[in-house]
Chains A and B, each alone.
Chain A
Amino acid sequence: MKKLLLGAACVALSVAPAVADTASKKIALSNNYAGNSWRQAMLQSWKTVTDQAIKDKKIGQADAFTTSENQATEQAAQIQNMILQGYDAIVLDAASPTALNGAVKEACNAGIKVISFDGIVTAPCAWRVVVDFQKWGRDEVDYLAKRLPDGGNLLEVRGLAGTSIDKEISKGIHDEVQKYPKFKIVGSVHGNWAQDVAQKAVAGVLPSLPKIAGVVTQGGDGYGTAMAFKAAGRPEPIIIMGNREDELSWWKQEHAENGYTTMSASIAPGIATLAFWVAQQILDGKDVPKDVSVPFLTVTQDTLDNALKTTPKGSVANKNYTQADVQAILAKGK
């Protein structure tokens, strides 16, 4: 009897064999936190893209769920509820890389595809949509090498201590600096990806530092760094920006006044929509590798005006991915 019940439940919950039609499939977004501008932009992107996808009959349903507190146990319960609700795929921004593995495994056993992004999970049965953070760090240094052929002193503004993202970006920066002996990192502070924290931290070390030619950052800290240099009355170095609206506005204003040029990079909150299309492709029966690498969103002098126009005040530059974008990324990854 028990076996029979179990079997019946499994049949009811499992996904039908791969077919090229996803119009009746249901995808859920499990999100652990909604309390900052990046997450709000992410949820907005999800809604915009999935509403259109439903209208175009590319997917049946795409509901977003956010846990009320940023807690792994609560999100594990949320995922188990999604299994019961009969979703075909779960797109996941996880509160913990490991604490959801039990629930993720339950979902996989029920035949549900789990696609994690941003906050990824380590369960082997889940897909991971990841940004190459090390490359982000390397690109910053490469850009500075191009702009500063004579080299000089660099200041590093890091993110939240103890997070894997901070470690990865910083590793990329330090690895790349090895290649350019003319560069020297003379100082390193933690700006916690927040302008006010970065401003205080940079202002604290500036008096002890020699002339700075460039500042490598992690996003959300460029404007604060610029303000610290201004307050100290020091010449503006080339500060790498992180796509925040305040950073881009400051850059534009400086460019108009004295031709200041830099570059800016960060993850687009629209990465959620990318994960959505990856889920759709998997449900469509496509063979998708477990690790999908995503380019980060870069803003240059040429694209600055356009990026600023589409970025709401206090928000961050965004990009909503389309099905074609994702198909191109997947094709390139093969």
Chain B
Amino acid sequence: MTRLFARHRILLPVISLAVLLALTFWLQPRAMSYFGMNLLFNLAVPIALATVAQMFIIKVNDIDLSIGAFVSLVACLTATVLVQQPLLGVLALAALVLAYAGMGAIVRALELPAIVVTLGMSFVWGGLALFILPSPGGESPEWLSALMSVKPPVLPMAVWAAAVIAAVTHLIAIRSGIGTVLRGVGGNARAVARAGWPVVRLTALAYGLAGLFGVLSGMALTGLTTSAGADVASRYTLLSIAGVILGGGEFVGGRVSPTGAVLGAFTLALAASLLSFMRLSPDWQIGSQGAILILVLTARLIFTRRGATR
């Protein structure tokens, strides 16, 4: 059994989500419906997209402390410029993706620690967001709100979205040739460079993909909340890192799982709801969320260690 877990890393995130879901349904049977599942999970969609963005960064052995501020900035742009001047809005969002790629190129070319560069950039994103939207407000484009509140058949929007995000990122990160090389950058950048690959450009690509998913996350969030603010997504930085790790990723070695990352994000969102259904005092909630995280990570460590010794 431990060998099974060690070989198939995806099992643990699946099981943790299933256990939390079962507990939630038991505590709150009302959640076990199309309507309930949607309420439970729709705010997890932008978190899942931000987690995927973080995954692309972690994949090349870096860490991104600016994703929360970046998503907030995208939300502010989406709720203002994209509505008033759609063309300018699209250009601005594209420029942001390029800026992210540029950030990656600088990190790799100058061999700067990503943790410092992204921390610095988080203040740049935050400042820009405040500049665009000094006080909370704005309004999401109508088509975006409509898209986020669509009622697809059989399963709610959030579940479909999760499946699509997981499938697309799996294709990009695991199945495609370039995805494999990117994982190689995380595994051993020097070896990849010796093999003749342009590591700086590859890193820029990984950051660019992160920027793209960051933009999608900000747009999804705006569609859900119908407006924006300069700090609307500041929690996403830590949530996305936790989501990647919870989903079976590792900080080094290019070992990440896109499906796991999406599941990790949903697990984190569900953990918060479960704790509130349990009527836990808010003073204890944040600590309990951390405890759930540590519990899952401990379980994973035990399985991988045992799997390795056999």
Point out residues on A near B: beta carbons under 8 Å.
1-2, 5-6, 8-10, 12-13, 34, 63, 65-69, 71-74, 76-78, 80-81, 83-86, 96-103, 105-106, 162, 164
B229 surroundings in chain A (CB, below 8 A): 72, 96, 98-99
Q: Are B273 and A77 in contact (CB under 8 A)?
A: yes
The residue on A at minimum CB distance from B281 is: A66
Point out residues on B near A: beta carbons under 8 Å.
28, 30-31, 33-36, 39-40, 42-43, 134-138, 145, 151, 153-154, 221, 224-229, 231-235, 269, 272-273, 276-277, 279, 282, 285-286
Q: How far does the alpha carbon of A13 sit from the alpha carbon of B34 in the complex, in Å? A: 13
Q: Are A63 and B136 in contact (CB under 8 A)?
A: no
Q: Are A85 and B28 in contact (CB under 8 A)?
A: yes
A5 surroundings in chain B (CB, below 8 A): 33-35
A103 surroundings in chain B (CB, below 8 A): 225
* Residue from B34, B134, B221, B276 in contact with A73 in the complex, judged by beta carbons closer than 8 Å: B221
B43 surroundings in chain A (CB, below 8 A): 73, 76-77, 80
The residue on A at minimum CB distance from B137 is: A98
A98 surroundings in chain B (CB, below 8 A): 136-138, 225-229
Q: How far does the alpha carbon of A142 sit from the alpha carbon of B135 in the complex, in Å? A: 31
Given known pairs A65-B276, A101-B225, the reply for A72 and B232 (CB within 8 Å) is yes
B153 surroundings in chain A (CB, below 8 A): 2
* Residue from A1, A65, A80 in contact with B282 in the complex, judged by beta carbons closer than 8 Å: A65
Query: How many pairs of A and B residues are in contact by the CB < 8 Å rule?
Result: 112
- How close is A13's CB to chain B, nearest CB, in angstroms? 7
**Given contacts A5-B35, A99-B228, could you give 11 more A-B pairs where the C-beta distance is less than 8 Å?**
A6-B151, A67-B282, A68-B286, A72-B136, A73-B43, A73-B233, A80-B42, A98-B136, A98-B137, A98-B138, A162-B134
Q: How far does the alpha carbon of A12 sit from the alpha carbon of B138 in the complex, in Å? A: 34
The residue on A at minimum CB distance from B135 is: A162
B227 surroundings in chain A (CB, below 8 A): 96, 98-99, 101
* Residue from A1, A99, A106 in contact with B39 in the complex, judged by beta carbons closer than 8 Å: A106
Q: Are A71 and B39 in contact (CB under 8 A)?
A: no
Q: Are B136 and A99 in contact (CB under 8 A)?
A: yes
Q: Are A84 and B31 in contact (CB under 8 A)?
A: yes
Interface of A is mostly: helix
Q: How far does the alpha carbon of A69 sit from the alpha carbon of B138 in the complex, in Å? A: 23
A65 surroundings in chain B (CB, below 8 A): 276, 282
Q: How far does the alpha carbon of A207 sit from the alpha carbon of B28 in the complex, in Å? A: 64
B138 surroundings in chain A (CB, below 8 A): 98
B28 surroundings in chain A (CB, below 8 A): 84-85
Q: List 10 A-B contacts (CB under 8 A).
A: A9-B30, A68-B286, A73-B225, A80-B42, A84-B39, A86-B30, A98-B226, A98-B229, A99-B227, A102-B145
The residue on B at minimum CB distance from A94 is: B136
A67 surroundings in chain B (CB, below 8 A): 282
Q: Are B135 and A9 in contact (CB under 8 A)?
A: no
Q: Are B225 and A72 in contact (CB under 8 A)?
A: yes
Q: Are A2 and B134 in contact (CB under 8 A)?
A: no
The residue on A at minimum CB distance from B269 is: A77
The residue on A at minimum CB distance from B130 is: A162
Q: How far does the alpha carbon of A65 sit from the alpha carbon of B269 in the complex, in Å? A: 17
The residue on B at minimum CB distance from A70 is: B231
B151 surroundings in chain A (CB, below 8 A): 2, 6
Q: How far does the alpha carbon of A267 sit from the alpha carbon of B225 in the complex, in Å? A: 29
Q: Are B221 and A8 in contact (CB under 8 A)?
A: no
* Residue from B134, B225, B282 in contact with A66 in the complex, judged by beta carbons closer than 8 Å: B282
A97 surroundings in chain B (CB, below 8 A): 136-137
Q: Are B34 and A6 in contact (CB under 8 A)?
A: yes
The residue on A at minimum CB distance from B47 is: A73
The residue on A at minimum CB distance from B39 is: A80
Q: Are A10 and B272 in contact (CB under 8 A)?
A: no
A102 surroundings in chain B (CB, below 8 A): 145, 224-226
Q: How far does the alpha carbon of A80 sit from the alpha carbon of B38 in the complex, in Å? A: 9
A77 surroundings in chain B (CB, below 8 A): 43, 269, 272-273
Q: Are A101 and B39 in contact (CB under 8 A)?
A: no
- How close is A118's CB to chain B, nearest CB, in angstroms? 15
A72 surroundings in chain B (CB, below 8 A): 136, 225, 229, 232
Q: Are B30 and A12 in contact (CB under 8 A)?
A: yes
| Among A1, A67, A81, A106: residue with most chain B CB under 10 A | A81
Given known pairs A77-B269, A81-B276, A84-B40, the reply for A68 and B282 (CB within 8 Å) is yes
